[in-house]
Structure 1
Amino acid sequence: MKSRLVYHWLLYVASLVHILLVPFVLAGSILLEEGTVISFDDASQTPRILRNTSILITNDRITTIFDSSNPSDVPIPTDTERVPAQGKIISPGFIDTHKHGWQTAYKTIASNTTLAEYYIRYGEFSQAETVFTPEDIYLGQLVGIYEALNAGVTSILDHAHSTFSRETASASLNASMDGGVRMWWCYAFHDISNGFSLEDQIENFNELKKDERLGESTVEVGIAYDGFSTAAKEEVQSIMDLATTSNISALTIHYLGGPWPRFSANSPKLLHDLDFLNTSFPIVFSHSSFITPEDASLLRQTNQYISTTPESEMHYGHDHPTTPFIQDQAALGVDTHFTYSADIVTQARLWLQSTRLEFFRQTLNRWRIPRNSPMSVNQAFLLATRAGGLALRRPDVGVIRVGAKADIVVFDGSSPSMLGWTDPVAAVILHSNVGDVEHVLVNGKWRKRDRRLVLKEGLNMSRDEVEGKFLESAKRIQEVWMQTPLPDLEGEFEPGFGVPYADVDVEDVVRGNGTGY
């Protein structure tokens, strides 16, 4: 525990040193005045509430946090934009540590799908590589980012498996830079059927990393790879070599465990055996639904994290029976936002209540009455914010403190759903909705202002034009999928692993013959 605290402290010091070394560029400041701020207390490792507090932002950083009742000692630049925040809640931006942004065009056509069906029908190995054009990928990625920003999500780790070709990979990266969110864009290396080989993908990856726009954007390039347990040793070694020599921002992996054969072995234990777990870059294991005690111990030893995606794991049937026991090395993600909301607050709320239910049930099953709640709103809030920053080894995101990146969300505390709040953390986690997100800042830039999205500077399309083109794209794509027969899920999920398909009991809310599925 002591070594982990020292590690986090060193990361924090490094972020402050970085601030001092960056040349100062004069820019207009932003002052959020007289709000209730959800800051962070390092001593207790819990949210710290600052009432009647103002935040001064200069360039991309939080430069001053002060008591609004005594501002006389704080120099405010004359060109500062003053934003009233009385009665409002000022929160760190929310962090999504697992997403596939390109899939936005599928929205609502997979409302009852399962993971087995998704894998065949909607994922990277489906017909998507032949149907989605580069423009489709660009538009889906961009509109998906807008949905996230609208909900107060300021940082995303994107498992970008729309890398079907040089053109689609470039389209995804360009949309990520045009979207204005903070993103760890992780290029997916995979064995797809169109002739775009691993060698081609590595060459393309190296080309994209040289894009000059990256230096001025809030996007960093990483790697996504799921072949550790299934690919040939030579391929796995080539990916590990690429990761260790390319100065990547992160590496992300799907890992389920349990009865899921294909991803069951992509575990911390496997990477440890490959001498690839204790890395200089963060590794995020998405889902980790049936994580083992040994895996959990290895994560703690190497300071690597999992991404729990509560709504996804409920919707698709992954389940998450053991992930509540590794929450100290966990953050939250959304996964496939075309099947539900991209709102991380919703994920935090679902995870909080499902974890409470699980632990309450354990006590009730012993014929005991719970006298306490097993998980607090503060813990859920930390999973949605600071834990994501730690998972990505960025102590300057997901937190409001001097020197942190100015990724901030302002909630309207006087909305019908939040009126009457006392505890701002409880107000956000249990009572807020996307409509209460009034302002969003990323890197000190407005991305939502007065409940309206603010598009990134230099984008050559208006929001109406983006949405119009996306609707045309989505209509064409959805028509293809609506005409494609559902897969026949018979036999075994992965032949040779001995895990068969089976029917699940179906519920009907209408008596008698009911309404059908």
Structure 2
Amino acid sequence: MMYLTALLPFILTIGPAAASSILFSNGTIIGFKKGTSDTLDSLEVTRNGDVLVTNDRIAGIFSGPAPTSNVPNGTERIDITDKIISTGFVDTHKHGWQTAFKTLGSNTTLAEYFLRYGEFATEGLLTPDDVYYGQLAGIYEALNSGVTTILDHAHHTWSNETSEAGLRASIDSGGRIFWSYAFHHIKNFSIEEQFANFRDLATKAEFEGSPTSLGIAYDNFGPNPDVEEVKTVMDLAKEFNISVVTTHALGGPWGYDNSPENLHTLGYLNNSASHGPAIIFSHASYITATSATLLRQTNQHISITPESEMHYGHGHPVSHLIQDQASLGIDTHFTYSGDILSQARLWLQATRRLLHQQVLDRWHVPSANPFSVNQAFLLATRNGGAALHRPDDIGVLAVGAKADLIVWDGTSPSMLGWRDPVSAVILHANVGDIQHVLVDGKFRKKDFKLVDKNYETVKSKFLESAARIQEAMMDPRRIVGDLEGSFMSGFEYERPLRVDVQPGGGDGYGRVFLD
């Protein structure tokens, strides 16, 4: 496995050793407090306050200067006057390995994705090195944008070697990655071999001592599951104390159910509420009222991926009705934004538009705004932690929580003049305003730059890999033309109305510049 030997000189030097304690002083803190349900579900802003980080935890939040007696000797002190400090963002659905496909799918649909870019279409295309560098580059993009926790649906599990490469990249990134091994029916790596590979990775537990942990991804819970196979998957989750299981759930004309009803029928949804893993349903585009009830009863969540569902045409007609059991994800970052801030902003305004339109359709005038910036912030942070069944220490800035933090430059051109810090982040900030990012109390971005002495080497290796992969993807035999007939679910294709920005009936759709 070349990626291991190639990186051996710097795997353990991904950044300088962090001080055991860091004090962020005199900033505006977007913190959390307990609400009526005795959970950290309400925002609380502290101005001109201090945040003390000790090792991997938030050790103190102070409404003024931290008392000297609370600050250990040797603490690194960072002045954040005129800046905002918040918890890091949580991404509950991502395929990190796909970074090398960037810009190839700018006008693609979900149906084309399955045929060209997905786990089955690309089996055999990527080497372990390709997976390693793609995964690492994708996580670095996320860390740069303030995403500190990622639930990675790792369907690059085509062999022992590609699986190990993705896990190793996740560990080496320093991000908080729930790397979820995908069990799937592919050509050259049997499900039995995958079970053995997973067991080996779980037993070796090379992720111990890092923010990375092992999860499971599985997309065959229903509607017609192999009951024995499902049992094997869930038995592995129980045997190795896996904290999260994730599945793609679509429904509607897409098929691909994997719905809460499917898991409930199999007997796994209710069990997980008390002592099993968190179960996260990605997209859940055509979720039913029964599904919503089951999610609330069992405290399980969906992952809304706003830009993905708009870009590909999944649809999300009712997701706004189950936001109390929802989180945000990115999905395929090679096709659009790789940051959760963009997803939160898109979802905020899309939901507002939908609910305003319902009033306007009755020829009435909206008298209030139906969805607040605070709610968007919670979806991007605390709700992600809750979806992972970690509501007290992931996605929250509170004493005892994990020190996964963002410092925003409140004096940047886009943020200058802010008064409400939550609105400043959700509506005005951009990735360029992020000065520092910490995961587990260690800097992963400092003074606007990723903390990796060898980033240039990683970047060079990734670009070499991406050039080869992109050339292969442009082979005419891999190009998908107009889709006709029926989708795999049995429902017919239909071409939507194509808009044109050019006058005179011309074709302004244009080409994709991939020469």
**How high is the TM-score relative to the length of structure 1?**
0.91
2-structure distance, mates of 1:212, 1:222: 12
**How much has 1:215 moved relative to structure 2?**
1.3
Q: Secondary structure of 1:259's match?
A: helix
2-structure distance, mates of 1:326, 1:254: 17
Question: Deviations for 1:209-236, whole angstroms, at most 9, x for unmatched residues?
Answer: 1234311111110100001124433222
| Correspondence 1:173 to 2:167 | yes
Which residue number in structure 2 is paired with residue 245 of structure 1? 239
| Correspondence 1:352 to 2:348 | yes
Amino acid of the structure 1 residue aligned with 2:125:
V
1-structure distance, mates of 2:186, 2:205: 28
1-structure distance, mates of 2:69, 2:331: 43
Which residue number in structure 1 is paired with residue 322 of structure 2? 326
Change (3 A) 1:516 1:214: closer
Equivalent of 1:443 in 431, 436, 440: 440
Which residue number in structure 2 is paired with residue 145 of structure 1? 139
Amino acid of the structure 2 residue aligned with 1:206:
R
| Percent of aligned pairs sharing the same letter | 57
Equivalent of 1:391 in 384, 387, 390: 387
Amino acid of the structure 2 residue aligned with 1:137:
V
Which residue number in structure 2 is paired with residue 469 of structure 1? 461
| Correspondence 1:413 to 2:407 | no
Q: Which sits farther off after the overlay, 475-484 or 90-99?
A: 475-484
1-structure distance, mates of 2:183, 2:373: 38
Q: Secondary structure of 1:216's match?
A: coil
Which residue number in structure 2 is paired with residue 363 of structure 1? 359
Question: Deviations for 1:123-147, whole angstroms, at most 9, x for unmatched residues?
Answer: 0010x22110000000000000000
Q: Secondary structure of 2:460's match?
A: helix
Amino acid of the structure 2 residue aligned with 1:141:
Q
Q: Secondary structure of 1:131's match?
A: coil
Which residue number in structure 1 is paired with residue 187 of structure 2? 193
Q: How many residues align?
A: 480
Kept in 2: contact 1:94–1:344 (CA 8 A): yes
1-structure distance, mates of 2:35, 2:237: 35
| Correspondence 1:76 to 2:68 | no
Which residue number in structure 1 is paired with residue 13 of structure 2? none
**How much has 1:245 moved relative to structure 2?**
2.3
Which residue number in structure 1 is paired with residue 219 of structure 2? 226
Equivalent of 2:490 in 477, 485, 498: 498
Question: Deviations for 1:353-410, whole angstroms, at most 9, x for unmatched residues?
Answer: 0000000000010111011000000000000000000100112011111100000000
Which residue number in structure 2 is paired with residue 112 of structure 1? 107
Which residue number in structure 1 is paired with residue 6 of structure 2? none
**How high is the TM-score relative to the length of structure 2?**
0.91
**How much has 1:148 moved relative to structure 2?**
0.2
Equivalent of 1:56 in 52, 55, 64: 52
1-structure distance, mates of 2:87, 2:183: 32
Equivalent of 1:89 in 73, 78, 84: 84
Kept in 1: contact 2:115–2:480 (CA 8 A): no
Which residue number in structure 2 is paired with residue 7 of structure 1? none
Question: Deviations for 1:142-161, whole angstroms, at most 9, x for unmatched residues?
Answer: 00000000000000000000
1-structure distance, mates of 2:314, 2:205: 40
Kept in 2: contact 1:166–1:204 (CA 8 A): yes
Amino acid of the structure 1 residue aligned with 2:422:
V
**How much has 1:240 moved relative to structure 2?**
2.3
**How much has 1:249 moved relative to structure 2?**
1.9
Kept in 2: contact 1:38–1:400 (CA 8 A): yes
Q: Secondary structure of 2:436's match?
A: strand
Q: Which sits farther off after the overlay, 410-419 or 235-244?
A: 235-244
1-structure distance, mates of 2:349, 2:493: 30
1-structure distance, mates of 2:492, 2:102: 29
Kept in 1: contact 2:285–2:317 (CA 8 A): yes
Which residue number in structure 2 is paired with residue 302 of structure 1? 298
| Correspondence 1:290 to 2:286 | yes
Q: Secondary structure of 2:207's match?
A: helix
Q: Secondary structure of 2:203's match?
A: coil
2-structure distance, mates of 1:271, 1:389: 22
2-structure distance, mates of 1:107, 1:90: 31
Which residue number in structure 2 is paired with residue 21 of structure 1? none
Which residue number in structure 2 is paired with residue 14 of structure 1? none
Kept in 1: contact 2:119–2:156 (CA 8 A): yes
1-structure distance, mates of 2:243, 2:90: 15
Q: Secondary structure of 2:29's match?
A: strand
Change (3 A) 1:298 1:212: closer
Unpaired stretches in structure 1, ≥5 consecutive residues = 1-25, 456-460
2-structure distance, mates of 1:210, 1:30: 35
2-structure distance, mates of 1:27, 1:359: 48
2-structure distance, mates of 1:373, 1:343: 25
Kept in 1: contact 2:28–2:49 (CA 8 A): yes
Unpaired stretches in structure 2, ≥5 consecutive residues = 1-17, 511-515
**How much has 1:485 moved relative to structure 2?**
2.3
**How much has 1:73 moved relative to structure 2?**
5.9
Q: Secondary structure of 1:47's match?
A: strand
Question: Deviations for 1:22-79, whole angstroms, at most 9, x for unmatched residues?
Answer: xxxx96310000000000121363211000010111100011111225x346421220
Kept in 2: contact 1:145–1:179 (CA 8 A): yes
Which residue number in structure 2 is paired with residue 40 of structure 1? 32
Kept in 2: contact 1:98–1:158 (CA 8 A): yes
Amino acid of the structure 1 residue aligned with 2:269:
L
Dislocated runs of 4+, deviation >6 Å: none
Kept in 1: contact 2:21–2:52 (CA 8 A): yes
2-structure distance, mates of 1:402, 1:113: 44
2-structure distance, mates of 1:27, 1:409: 17
Question: Deviations for 1:470-510, whole angstroms, at most 9, x for unmatched residues?
Answer: 0011011111111222155221101xx43001111111111
2-structure distance, mates of 1:304, 1:268: 9
Alignment of 1:149-160 (within 5 A): 149-160=143-154
Q: Secondary structure of 1:438's match?
A: strand
Which residue number in structure 1 is paired with residue 4 of structure 2? none
2-structure distance, mates of 1:474, 1:72: 51
2-structure distance, mates of 1:34, 1:473: 44
Kept in 2: contact 1:120–1:487 (CA 8 A): no
Kept in 2: contact 1:121–1:487 (CA 8 A): no
